Structure 1
Amino acid sequence: MPISKNKLSLQAKWEEVRQFYPWYKSITGDRDAMDWGDIPLLTQERLLPYYESDEQAVPQEWNVYRTSGTSGNKRKAIYYDAIDEEAYIQYKIEMFAELLKGYNVSRALSDMGTGHAEATAVQIFEGIGLACESVPFGLPAAAHLLRIADYQPDVLYTMPSLLDGMLRVAPPDFKWGLQCVILVGEPAPPAWRQRVAERLGITEHDVMDTLGSIEIGTIAYYDQSIERYVVMDGVIAEGVTPAEAGLPDVELPPGEQLLVLTSLVRRRFPALRFVTYDVVRDLRVEEQDGKLITTFEAIVKRVGPELKHGEKISIYDIENAIFQHVQQAVVKVLVNGNKLQVMITTVEVINEALREVIRDELHSTIPAIGAMIRGGLLEEMDVVFLSNDMDDPSPEGSGKKPIKQKKLFVQQASQRSDGQ
């Protein structure tokens, strides 16, 4: 049983899920007593009845958010009723208030693309007393910079890939005027955060990271004082092996596990031992200020049967290695068959000596890649340095290119999956 969680709360959660979801009761049997070790892991296969439920039976006042598709190519619909939505908003209000403690800020700009985080951002920042505006996702990169220049926010709430897009087109003398950045949605390794802070004219501690899941809601935030992610109250985080989650062919290095989440507040999703397929590094329970908390070093990648070789590729580790040597770059990783290509686009001058250092860094700091190459699963890594983005028909720095770009491309014959 998870440490620091009382049995009554877990029993109530067990009864709630069985009451709301008849299909869940059918896979757990008629027993009423809950034994944590006997509660099944909610894998993607077991969740298909939820994901493929008839939307017409859902009350119209519920909010619906969509994510990547099921094996039947139907996009997953994730529901939030009024109680779930209020809990989600309150969790974020508390988290943002904690992150912004000590800052004298009055204006926030949400540049989040689409989805649940974008839809609720203005309400959340207003809930902690800040004025907030949201940038439309479809604008070209340069227009996002113009919005920052006009609105002059103290806080920028965005995703790493969107911030990369803005940095790509921002002139060196652009006045960001930010006190801090709050991130969500994608890996933000330490070396990347440091380089971003240098470009924005703030400290690494001012680049704050948060983690969430469309199914669960807010999961964790990065605590600068302990340099680890802290799991939110009301969320139980476990680590399991891939084999336990039905992926016997997937191997992870020591200290890495699949993240499994239970939410004691989420209702309109069966949030009981939900397998996220995210790989969490160094998950543990520890004491902080007399209280037991769950922390981890990072979420480094995602695994799953649909990703093929891409399940071994950690964008987190690749970017962390590259940004130790490069100040600004756009990093793309292509897995095509058994060939791995890392494309690094930068305006910096990279001489051959530095190129070799970066190549060596990628091989030595990412053991999974080296093991796949030595074992013949992948060919020798191809590290390509570009002075501009060859995929972009518009001039580099024009800001006409879409602001968000995928980082991991996995291609298997005629089937392609994008892993970010």
Structure 2
Amino acid sequence: MPITMNMSSLQAKWEEVRQLYPWYKQMTGASCDFKWEEVPLLTQDRLLPYYESDESTVPRDWNVYRTSGTSGNKRKAIYYDANDEEAYIRYKVEMFAELLKGYNVSRALSDMGTGHAEATAVPIFEELGLACESVPFGLPAAAHLIRIKEYVPDVLYTMPSLMDGMLRVAPPDFKWGLKCVLLVGEPAPPAWRQRVAERLGIAEQDVMDTLGSIEIGTIAYYDRSIERYVVMDGVMAEGVEPAEAGLPEVELPDGEQLLVLTSLVRRRFPALRFVTYDVVRDLRVDVVHGKPVTTFEAIVKRVGPELKHGEKISIYDIENAVFKHVRQAVVKVLVNGNKLQVGIATIDELNDEVRAAVRDELHSTIPAIGAMIRGGLLEQMDVLFGSGVTDVSLPEGTRKPIKQKKLFVEPSSEGREHG
């Protein structure tokens, strides 16, 4: 059951989904009696009729965005009609207006690669009254720095992995000139945000994180006043146990659950109890500025039927542990059979004391990894340090990274990485 809900709104959503998607009505039965406890979780398997629908029947004026594949290796097509796009932009404008409150900014640079966030960035910032340009995808990292130097933005809108790439090639004396950074995409743990802020010459609170999903749209933003993520109005969030979503073999620590979302505004996706497969930590209701809202500490990892040990590896926690002791690094995690390898590439010279501190932090602050090692599921963790990215490159033949591009699965492992 959602942490916050309006039953009449949920019933209206249920009726809408049944009307728009005949396969959903067939799946849920002919009865028109609404009972929340009987509304099914939309798992990957149950969503296949949506993902495998005939694209030729989709109106030509709808926008289509593609993401990782289904079990049949067909890329998922996610649709937005004009109303969905308008709602997406409205929510982003509302969120960015809240985050940028108090900042004297006039120019934004979007460095988002490709996808929905990139396609909508310019109109969103322009609606906020900011001039905005977008950096073309595919340019080398050094060219992104040149654009920052020439355009002199106050706000940089980017992804953590792209921010890492720019920091990796930026000279120590590079003049960023930024007042703040807005992030979306991969996990951005507090220690990572602190290190990025130090490099950019701004405060940690000026590196602001947001969360979204191509299926749902905007989900939440990090509220620095309470140091937690706040779920957007119109989005219902609930936490369920993995077994409820068909993953009985996955065990999560106390306080962690699978994130399930319902959007009251999204129409061209059946956004009713959608299982994200993201693991949310400490989901609860708080009173913020006199209003009850759903909040959580972080999204720490992703689970799913396609991962073996990978579903228990939290990149969020690993990076947070590393950046408590290392100023700048590229972190890569390899799961090879029952062996876990953490590669840390840094331009800084790390003495034995710092290296030992990183190893101790990784072992002591990530209970799931320690438990797997003690239980024999994983061998002792290898922590490898190098002076550059190539020094901790992955073995030849290693499969492509999953979404956050930091967790790798060796081909000899069972299963395949989650898209």
Query: Taking every aligned residue pair, what percent have the same amino acid on both sides?
Result: 81
Q: 2:389, 2:193 → 1: CA distance?
A: 22
Contact 2:260 2:275 in 1 (8 A): yes
Question: Structure 1: how far apart are the matches of 2:173 and 2:404?
Answer: 24
Letter in 2 for 1:338: N
Contact 2:3 2:284 in 1 (8 A): no
Q: Deviations over 1:133-182 (max 9, x none)?
A: 00011001100000100100000000000000000000000000000000
Q: Counterpart in 1 of 2:144?
A: 144
Q: Distance in 2 between matches of 1:414 and 1:369?
A: 17
How far off is 1:29 after superposition? 0.6
Partner of 1:407: 406
For residues 118-157 of structure 1, the aligned pairs below 5 Å read 118-157=118-157
Structure 2, unpaired ranges of 5+: 394-402
SS in 2 for 1:268: coil
Question: 1:62, 1:80 within 8 Å by CA — same for their partners in 2?
Answer: yes
Match status 1:36 vs 2:43: no
Number of residues of Structure 1 aligned to a counterpart in Structure 2: 410
Distance 1:16 1:65 in 2: 22
Structure 1 position 418, deviation (Å): 4.6
Distance in 2 (CA, whole Å) between partners of 1:305 and 1:418 is 10
| Mean Cα deviation higher: 296-305 or 1-10 | 1-10
Letter in 2 for 1:165: G
Q: In the aligned structure 2, how far is the partner of 1:4 from the partner of 1:144?
A: 42
| Shift in CA distance, 412/32, structure 1 to aligned 2, threshold 3 Å | same
Report the counterpart of residue 254 of structure 2 in structure 1.
254
Q: Structure 1: how far apart are the matches of 2:176 and 2:90? A: 29
Report if the CA contact (8 A) 2:108-2:125 is conserved.
yes
CA distance in 1, matches of 2:159, 2:390: 24
TM-score normalised by structure 2 residue count: 0.95
Q: CA deviation at 1:414?
A: 7.1
Distance 2:14 2:206 in 1: 40
**Superposition pairs of residues 2-151 of structure 1, within 5 angstroms:** 2-151=2-151
Q: CA deviation at 1:289?
A: 2.8
CA deviation after TM superposition for structure 1 residue 419, in Å = 5.0
TM-score (norm 1): 0.95
Shift of the alpha carbon at 1:223? 0.1
- Seen in structure 2, the aligned counterparts of structure 1 residues 26 and 245 have a Cα distance that, compared at 3 Å, is same
The answer for the alignment partner of 1:368 in structure 2 is 368
**How far apart, CA to CA, are the structure 1 residues paired with 2:144 and 2:245?**
41
Q: Which residue of 2 aligns with 1:174?
A: 174
Q: Is the 8 A contact 2:186 2:404 kept in 1?
A: no
CA contact (8 A) 2:41 2:274 kept: yes
Residue 303 of structure 1 deviates from its aligned partner by: 0.1
CA distance in 1, matches of 2:290, 2:177: 38
Structure 2 contact 3–237 (Cα < 8 Å) conserved: no
Residue 412 of structure 1 deviates from its aligned partner by 4.1
User: Quick one: distance in 1 between partners of 2:205 and 2:358?
Assistant: 25
Distance 1:42 1:419 in 2: 17
Q: CA deviation at 1:36?
A: 1.0
Give 3-state SS (helix, strand or coil) of 2:110's partner: strand
Structure 1 alignment gaps of length 5 or more: 394-403
Which residue of the partner structure matches residue 337 of structure 1? 337
* Distance in structure 1 (CA, Å) of the matches to 2:413 and 2:376: 22
Give, as a single letter, the amino acid of the residue that structure 2 aligns with 1:413.
Answer: S
1:291: how far off? 1.5
The residue type paired with residue 269 of structure 2 is F
C-alpha distance in 2 between matches for 1:253 and 1:37:
25
Q: Confirm or deny: 8 A CA contact 1:409 1:417 kept in the other structure.
A: no
Partners of 2:160 and 2:183 within 8 A in 1: yes
Secondary structure of the residue aligned to 1:305 is coil
Q: What SS does structure 2 have at the residue aligned with 1:91?
A: helix
Q: What is the alpha-carbon distance in structure 2 between the residues aligned to residue 22 and residue 414 of structure 1?
A: 39
Q: Is the 8 A contact 2:4 2:294 kept in 1?
A: no
Corresponding residue of 1:396: none
Q: Distance in 1 between matches of 2:342 and 2:92?
A: 35
CA 1:158–1:417: 2 relative to 1, 3 Å? farther
